[in-house]
Structure 1
Amino acid sequence: MTHIGGPTVLIEVAGWRILTDPTFDPPGRRYAFGWGTSSRKKTGPSLQPEEVGPVDVVLLSHEHHADNLDDRGRELLAQVPLVVTTRAGAERLGRAADGTRGLRPWDRTTLDAPARQPISVTATPCRHGPPLSRPIAGPVIGFALQWEGQEHGVLWITGDTVLFHGVREVPRRMTVDTVVLHLGAVRFPITGPLHYSLTADEAVELCTLVQPRTIIPVHYEGWSHFAQGREAVETAFAASPDHLGERLHWLPLRAVDKL
């Protein structure tokens, strides 16, 4: 895995090059998220699109927030053979029908290509905010990846979500070996203490249920709407009675542009 910044990770496995939530815009701009909310991008990507190389598949948790798909990320989509995203997102992207697959939670699709090992992708539930926020925050999904030869369990990318019954269902349905956690405890001044992504404490509670061998934090830095960064995550995990802090693995970021 290569962490490019925010939620953007390049996963190279079983002959595939899979990119999550492409964000490649430079820092400095403020983006509107709707209903009076906005955020300023503070950190640029560690790699430019041309440095990433060819991408076989984009796993796009949602396309309606710029911290998960920005302008340069949208340009990249035109060069990618397949995008897997939400049903609503697939319709809005307007790509060719065979180049986009829209999934609802617990739908499954298979990545299949000549001379490559098939990968099963299951859409996992997300709720991108407090109760009753879905009509405002919009649909989001995570992704659970399985392929032949996995030794200990699936690779799960949570997507932008808070802790709710939908994500608690994931460890009941599957064994997770590695979890890529979207964190940051997103908050906006207009909605006060309400948060729209996992807090550090919620992440600890979720990982206590999941019991993954490896925990990879992403999407906790680089934007003004993040209320918690690496220090808060490390503190919360260090206090876990299950010693979950020993399972944290911070993917290195190369030098990036910062404001």
Structure 2
Amino acid sequence: MELLQLRNATVKLTYGGTTFLIDPMLSQRGALEPFPSLRGDERNPLHDLPLPITEILDGVDVVLVTHSHVDHWDPEAARTIPKHTPILVQDRFDADIVAAQGFTDVRILENTTAFGQVTLTRVEGQHYDAPELVPLIVDVTGTAATMGVVLRAEGEPTVYFTGDTVWFTGVEEALRAFSPEVVVANAGGNRIPLGRLVLDDAEVALISRAAPAAAIVAVHMEAVNHWGTSKAQLRQTAAASGFTDRLFVPADGESLTFPHP
């Protein structure tokens, strides 16, 4: 398993003989509107991509979109990804969005499915820390739904991408059911004025306790204007909670390799 961190939750993953592009946000720095935020109104994304888009897309077999919010599937991704590329999405709402953009092979990930030698299992996410956030998220983005995904393949570590979620019973149950060797956690603590949308450092510590042998790769950090947990803060929490040796916080453009245990 080789994971290339690109920016935010955008990851290029080589796994089980398949190359996945996950949650592509490919816009140039500052091309997108800011999110409602307590931090400021910087335009998104906050940083440039570390590689040219042509290099990012080279060799990609399939794109996995955990949900259609603009920091996971943006206009530049829709414009530049070849229209015949298989796109895996969470539900009909997202499938209709992607299909309307001209993509001809859009597949809804329902429960467990196979792509090549890789088995993908959908895991529910909860993209809010308070129920009153749901109407606002739906009003602004069209949906509050999100998913995580567990990938398995012979000769590879089991890997769980949390997607955009806070800690809730679904995350705990996924960790128990699948015993992942690698957890890729959207750990930026992103929030809007009414509440938090994504795991923060304290919740990553909960993951470390629920999966005491797993490597934790923290992504979705310091990349869009409403981030709430810094990389430094996460590292401090890891040191205090005793999982520094299992925490990886890759820089944009950094590649990580995890062998089968």
Task: Output the TM-score relative to the length of structure 1.
Answer: 0.84
Displacement of 1:79:
4.1
Contact 1:127/1:134, CA 8 A, preserved across alignment:
no
Contact 1:8/1:21, CA 8 A, preserved across alignment:
yes
The answer on 1:148 being equivalent to 2:154 is yes
The answer on 1:5 being equivalent to 2:7 is yes
**Cα distance in 1 between the residues matched to 2:226 and 2:147:** 20
Superposition RMSD on alpha carbons, in Å?
Answer: 2.4
Structure 1 unmatched runs, 5+: 113-117
The answer on 1:15 being equivalent to 2:17 is yes
Displacement of 1:121:
0.3
SS at structure 2 position matched to 1:31: coil
Contact 2:35/2:225, CA 8 A, preserved across alignment:
no
Contact 2:202/2:237, CA 8 A, preserved across alignment:
yes
Instruction: State which drifts further: 141-150 or 75-84.
Output: 75-84
**Cα distance in 2 between the residues matched to 1:119 and 1:24:** 25
**Cα distance in 2 between the residues matched to 1:216 and 1:90:** 28
Displacement of 1:172:
2.1
Match of 2:130, as an amino acid? P
**Cα distance in 1 between the residues matched to 2:23 and 2:84:** 13
Aligned equivalent of 1:128: 127
**Cα distance in 1 between the residues matched to 2:63 and 2:190:** 24
1:95-134 deviations in Å (ceiling 9; x for gaps)? 6897122135xx111002xxxxx10000111111123244
1:120-165 deviations in Å (ceiling 9; x for gaps)? 0001111111232445431111110001123xx5111110110111
Match of 2:14, as an amino acid? E
SS at structure 2 position matched to 1:169: helix
Aligned equivalent of 1:91: 96
Contact 1:77/1:83, CA 8 A, preserved across alignment:
no
SS at structure 2 position matched to 1:227: coil
1:57-94 deviations in Å (ceiling 9; x for gaps)? 1111111x211111211123434521111112112222
1:192-223 deviations in Å (ceiling 9; x for gaps)? xx211001001111221122431111111221
SS at structure 1 position matched to 2:25: coil
SS at structure 1 position matched to 2:80: helix
Displacement of 1:26:
1.2
**Cα distance in 1 between the residues matched to 2:180 and 2:253:** 28
Aligned counterpart in structure 2 of residue 178 of structure 1, from 166, 175, 182: 182
Aligned equivalent of 2:140: none
Match of 1:127, as an amino acid? Q
For residues 86-235 of structure 1, what are the structure 2 equivalents within 5 Å?
86-87=90-91, 88-94=93-99, 99-104=105-110, 107-112=111-116, 118-132=117-131, 133-137=133-137, 138-150=144-156, 153-189=157-193, 191=194, 194-235=195-236
Aligned equivalent of 1:56: 61
1:220-252 deviations in Å (ceiling 9; x for gaps)? 122110011101110111111xx2111112324
Displacement of 1:254:
4.1
SS at structure 1 position matched to 2:55: helix
Aligned equivalent of 2:50: 46
Contact 2:231/2:249, CA 8 A, preserved across alignment:
no
Using CA pairs under 8 Å that are at least 6 residues apart, name the structure with larger relative contact order, 1 or 2: 2
Q: How many residues align?
A: 239
Contact 1:55/1:80, CA 8 A, preserved across alignment:
no
Aligned counterpart in structure 1 of residue 26 of structure 2, from 21, 24, 27: 24
Give % identity: 24
